Amino acid sequence: MNKEKLKEYRRRAKELVAEMTLEEKVSQTIHGAAAIERLGIKSYNWWNEGLHGVARAGVATVFPQAIGLAATFDEDLLNQVADVISTEARAKFHLQQKCGDTDIYKGLTFWSPNVNIFRDPRWGRGHETFGEDPYLSSRMGVRFIEGLQGDDDNYLKVAACGKHFAVHSGPEEERHSFDAVVSKQDMFETYLPAFEACVKEGKVEAIMGAYNRTNGEPCCGSKTLLKDILRDFWGFEGHVVSDCWAIKDFHEHHKVTSSAVESVAMAMENGCDLNCGSLFLYLTEAVNRGMVSEERLNEAVENLMMTRLKLGVFDEQEKIPFNKITYKDNDTREHKELNFTASRKSFVLLKNKDNLLPLDKNKIKTIGIIGPNSNNRKALVGNYEGTASRYYTITEGIQDYLGEDVRVMVSEGCHLCRPKVSGLGQENDRISEVRGVCEESDVIIACMGLDSSLEGEEGDEGNEFASGDKPNLSLPGLQEEVLKEIYQSGKPVVLVILSGSALAVTWADEHIPAILEGWYPGAQGGRALASVLFGEYSPEGKLPVTFYRTSEELPDFRDYDMKGRTYRYMKQDALYPFGYGLSYTDITVSGVSLSQNTVVEGEAITVKAVLKNTGTMKGAETLQVYVKSCHPDTPNAQLKAFKKVELNPGEEKEVALTLSDRSFGLRDEKGDLVLFQGDYLVYTGTQQPDARSMELTGKVPECMTVTAADQVVLEACCI
């Protein structure tokens, strides 16, 4: 934003706060902020959600869940999706304000994106994130924020919020009392980079604290996180909001304070400006008792007024460029088509033996669709979702695509996780129907996986697993048993997994010829999937998480040490690796070059490569660059640059990517970012350079060596 405009907003914010009484100031620090009519301040509800579309406020475009958006490996697409979300936010806000509707989920402050690291596939909220890699999460997070907040010099389109700061990824059932103990090395190498990028590059307007403690301090009242790192080291200038009712956890569950007034004092004094909840009403008492300085309270309210000024809510409405957006700009045909594009770009083809896919509808008379996710709307949308004006389940999408040309037979197959579908039925009460569909069909689409009733947030309504975390990585209930029955029919089988996380589908990998991961693909999911299954488009997604072979190989869920976790630190072969995904066409990489073979502080290296579509079908591929230090006891090769490229058959394009000096830096035990002396391997290709990826694809990334002549501390740790 324009610097002079920011100065003006800060001046106006100070003037507004100077006119407020103590009670009025306190009334602005809770998410349901009161009106101050004498100052022209309307009531405002700060709580709004928009992980993959405007949520919980009626009809809006419901995009694929965040984990599916991450699988596109397409920064530009993320930016377009977020731009549509902010357009619909303004469209709905325009109508709501016109009608005097200031309810929850009706504001312009959106508590997204979630840039926590998906360190363990059992975590129920992992599908809200951009996956397990700090670099991918950083890039996706920054571009999503930029799309939400817009590029106007004077006003924010909406205000984005990076959450949950900072070390938060389960266990959900203990989040109100859990202490995530983490080393400085892991903190700055894994858990903080995406937040830092959101603050420094994305200029995110807000940061939300997490429920848990980190190294003994409750995150929403952590001096280390909120003051030392966020404000002082990164220079964050927006506002900090607590997670919802997290501050009462200080005294009720974390036991770091003994009363509500002590808890609000700890949160406010350590940098929390806004309380999702109502406990900050105790601030009046805290200030009067000298537990919180009025100067600090003034600062908090000024930060909040700054956000509202940036959104233009106090200005003459004709000055706001976004007020040209009206309700007719919500849920448009163009938005639905972008949703369709995002959905079909998110699908990851995991296996395709003998090129079973794409299917040729001209060679099929009857197709069977079997499984609990075949007609499950919940498996389209994940959580924090809006309401679509039209949903396409997998069954509906295939039925619409095939029309009357091919007979479509369907069966739920089994319940998603229980032993029977009908309450009074016997166990496995749909198995005869499964056999009948298999017998009559030429090919079977098996639709298995999860939905947000099985993986989600602690306290979510309808959680089958109580906390929202998964107990293991297996297909729940009778799904694998039904899948084996389908396989026994001898018919060609395509397994479509709808889930927000990795599943250990080891048996399926050994027996089922074609497997496709569909995530929670949004309201257009079935329509998009049909277009990919039948070859209108080639799959182009890549895994933003590792698929493991077993639940048993995972480290203790409660251990936040990164050793043995994710592709960056695991020693064993994955079932399906991070960065992996097949295509219907073949795109090759050649002509890889580096601008220099030395790593020097303050200098960047340019990586160039030529991608060529040598297949017969239009497709897209992600050029991926990984860096591995030859210094002992360092992580595996890590993603440091990527670019999505679309190519027609026979077409080739040269791509240039940049590696900064920080791309080669590693955190030591003190948390310092160190450029170690010695050699680094730079891998350039369409996958990570692990043995399993090479086994699955038959491709080997190009490897080049660069050298750092001296050991240099690129950045000293701030704590």
Is 0.85 topped by the overall pTM? Answer: yes
Q: Which of 249, 429, 455, 458 is catalytic?
A: 455
Cα three-residue angle 33-39-40, rounded to 5 degrees = 75
Q: What is the pLDDT of residues 409-420, one digit of tens each?
A: 999 999 999 999
Active-site residue, selected from the candidate residues 120, 243, 451, 458: 243
d(CA 54, CA 14): 32
Q: Which residue has the tokens 């058959």?
A: 649
Q: What is the pLDDT of residue 622?
A: 98
What are the C-alpha distances in Å from 363 to residues 410, 441, 490, 515? Answer: 19, 12, 17, 20
Residue 660 to residue 551: CA distance in whole angstroms: 37
556 contacts: CB under 8 Å, gap ≥ 6 = none
> Is the model's pLDDT at 596 over the cut of 80?
yes
Report the interhelical angle of 294-310 vs 260-269 (nearest 10°).
Answer: 60
Contacts 24+ apart (CB under 8 A), 424-430: 427/478, 428/478, 428/481, 428/482, 430/482
Eight-class DSSP state of 438: H
Tokens matching residue 437: 């569909």
Q: What does 382-396 look like in DSSP terms, one character per residue?
A: -SS--B-SS---HHH
Coil, strand or helix at 432: helix
pLDDT of residue 456: 95
Work out the pLDDT band at 122, boundaries 50, 70, 90.
very high
For 386-405, what is each residue's pLDDT tens digit? 999 999 999 999 999 999 99
In the predicted model, what is the mean pLDDT of the chain?
Answer: 97
Classify strands 678-685 and 702-708 as parallel, antiparallel or unpaired: antiparallel
Q: What is the pLDDT of residues 258-283, one digit of tens each?
A: 999 999 999 999 999 999 999 999 99
- Of 450, 457, 458, whose CA–CA distance to 477 is shortest? 450
Q: What is the pLDDT of residues 192-223, one digit of tens each?
A: 999 999 999 999 999 999 999 999 999 999 99
Neighbouring-strand partners of residue 180: 214
Whether pLDDT at 452 is above 80: yes
Q: How sure is the predictor about 460, in pLDDT bands with cuts at 50, 70 and 90?
A: confident
Crossing angle, helix 193-200 and helix 134-149, to 10 degrees? 30
Q: What mean pLDDT comes out for the span 473-478?
A: 97
Residues 127-153 have pLDDT tens digits of 999 999 999 999 999 999 999 999 999
pLDDT at res. 15 = 98
- Report CA 546 to chain centroid distance, whole Å: 15
- How many Å separate Cα 635 from the centre of its chain? 23
The amino acid present at 519, given as its one-letter code, is: W
What pLDDT is stored for residue 465 in this prediction? 83
CA distances from 382 to 64, 511, 525 (A): 8, 28, 12
Sequential DSSP letters for 120-173? -TT-TTGGGSS-S-HHHHHHHHHHHHHHHH---SS--SSB-EEEEESS----GG
Q: In what order do the strands lie in the sheet with 652-659?
A: 587-594, 605-613, 652-659
pLDDT at 317 over 90: no
Are 420 and 426 a contacting pair, CB within 8 Å?
A: yes
Q: Has 243 been annotated as catalytic? A: yes
